[in-house]
């Protein structure tokens, strides 16, 4: 179990690449949520958000928990935390200071009618504290919320791990039945509103991180997830469709039923994707190596390009919804890839953005 788990790398970069169509879709949401740019509501595009949102970020925290289990077999607690500072805290600070003021400036212009200069807006960014979204031009952390959440969760988790004295499951240790693993979905509906910051729950993400560390890093559990991947995917797909219908298309508020559908989608999609990846994606290749080495750069850079292209093309493509959605997505992939190639070759930028160059 000490060898690198390539399927984790695969899942991580696939999820990060999906952030581009996901964040592009936010400009079309039908529930009135502000964005750096708001175009017009579209239920079909919004369905993508509602379907993906239950599981894609929780999956990232599960993968982080699993990676922590493997990392602590080769590193001391101090070495691990030092690495977390370099990979999470440094890019969080850099991203917040460099990328977020640009996004907030665009949000102020498109949503609040700001007509001042870009550099003048820095004063607004650092002095306007409202909902911390940045959509009104005020201070925000954009997509970099994931980094500070993960940094804090890593600190808390290492403390818990140190107290329990357990670094990982021993070979041949207690085997957790896969039915019990499936039942770990049960706490999720009660965690969504607990310790929430900006609509995101520390409690939920800490829970799935620790489950990733203690449970899903076990080879026997992963093998079981691979065997039952068809069943878990069917449950995830069905509950995901139900979740989309109840939230977006029914026109009614189903309350806890909707919450349960969301939890089922989250947990069983995580189990099915882990099972599929363990069976089909546990290999190293040139393409996977390329995206794995640049995934973190894609995470940091992509959102700015998505918003910029939507701003530039909204009038030109206003009558063509499919193009107004898809063209910024495609251009954002290209622009982000180009920027990633530049950044990965400049050592100071690699350090500030928390990436290694192999």
Reading the block at residue 213, the tokens are: 């560390």
Return the pLDDT at 2. Answer: 44
pTM of the model: 0.95
Query: Who's near 137: CB < 8 A, 6+ residues apart?
Result: 104, 105, 107, 108, 111, 112, 114, 121, 124, 125, 128
User: Do residues 303 and 99 touch, judged by C-beta distance below 8 A?
Assistant: yes
Which of 131, 150, 149, 145 has the alpha carbon at shortest distance from 35? 131
Domain residue ranges in the chain: 1-51+285-358
Which of 178, 311, 232 has the alpha carbon at shortest distance from 55? 232
Q: pLDDT of the chain along its 358 residues, tens only?
A: 445 789 999 999 999 999 999 999 999 999 999 999 999 999 999 999 999 999 999 999 999 999 999 999 889 999 999 999 999 999 999 999 999 999 999 999 999 999 999 999 999 999 999 888 899 999 999 999 999 999 999 999 999 998 887 554 444 445 789 999 999 999 999 999 999 988 899 999 999 999 999 999 999 999 999 999 999 999 999 999 999 999 999 999 999 999 999 999 999 999 999 999 999 998 888 888 999 999 999 999 999 999 999 999 999 999 999 999 999 999 999 999 999 999 999 999 999 999 976 5
């Amino acid at each position: 179990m000490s060898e690198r788990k390539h399927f984790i790398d695969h899942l991580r970069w696939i999820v990060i690449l999906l952030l581009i169509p996901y964040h592009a879709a936010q400009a079309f949401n039908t529930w009135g949520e502000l964005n750096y740019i708001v175009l017009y509501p579209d239920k079909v595009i919004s369905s993508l958000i509602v379907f993906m949102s239950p599981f894609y970020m929780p999956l990232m925290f599960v993968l982080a928990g699993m990676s922590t289990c493997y990392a602590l077999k080769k590193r001391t607690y101090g070495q691990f935390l030092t690495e977390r500072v370099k990979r999470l805290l440094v890019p969080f600070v850099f991203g917040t200071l460099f990328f977020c003021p640009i996004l907030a400036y665009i949000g102020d212009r498109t949503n609040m009618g700001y007509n001042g200069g870009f550099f003048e807006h820095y004063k607004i960014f650092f002095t306007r504290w409202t909902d911390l979204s940045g959509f009104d031009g005020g201070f925000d952390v954009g997509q970099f919320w994931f980094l500070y959440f993960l940094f804090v969760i890593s600190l808390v988790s290492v403390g818990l791990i140190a107290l329990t004295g357990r670094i990982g499951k021993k070979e041949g240790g207690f085997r957790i039945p896969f039915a019990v693993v499936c039942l770990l979905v049960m706490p999720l509906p009660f965690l969504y509103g607990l310790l929430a910051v900006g609509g995101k729950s520390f409690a939920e993400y800490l829970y799935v991180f620790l489950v990733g560390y203690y449970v899903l890093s076990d080879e026997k559990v992963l093998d079981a997830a691979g065997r039952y991947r068809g069943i878990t995917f069917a449950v995830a797909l069905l509950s995901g469709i139900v979740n989309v219908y109840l939230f977006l298309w029914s026109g009614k508020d189903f309350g806890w039923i909707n919450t349960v559908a969301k939890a089922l989608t989250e947990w069983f999609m995580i189990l099915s994707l882990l099972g599929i990846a363990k069976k089909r994606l546990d290999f190293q290749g040139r393409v996977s190596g390329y995206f794995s080495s640049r995934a973190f750069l894609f995470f940091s850079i992509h959102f700015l390009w998505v918003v910029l292209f939507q701003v530039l093309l909204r009038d030109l493509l206003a009558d063509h919804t499919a193009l107004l959605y898809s063209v910024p997505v495609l251009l954002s992939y290209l622009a982000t890839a180009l920027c990633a190639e530049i950044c990965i070759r400049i050592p100071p930028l690699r350090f500030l953005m928390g990436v290694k160059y192999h």
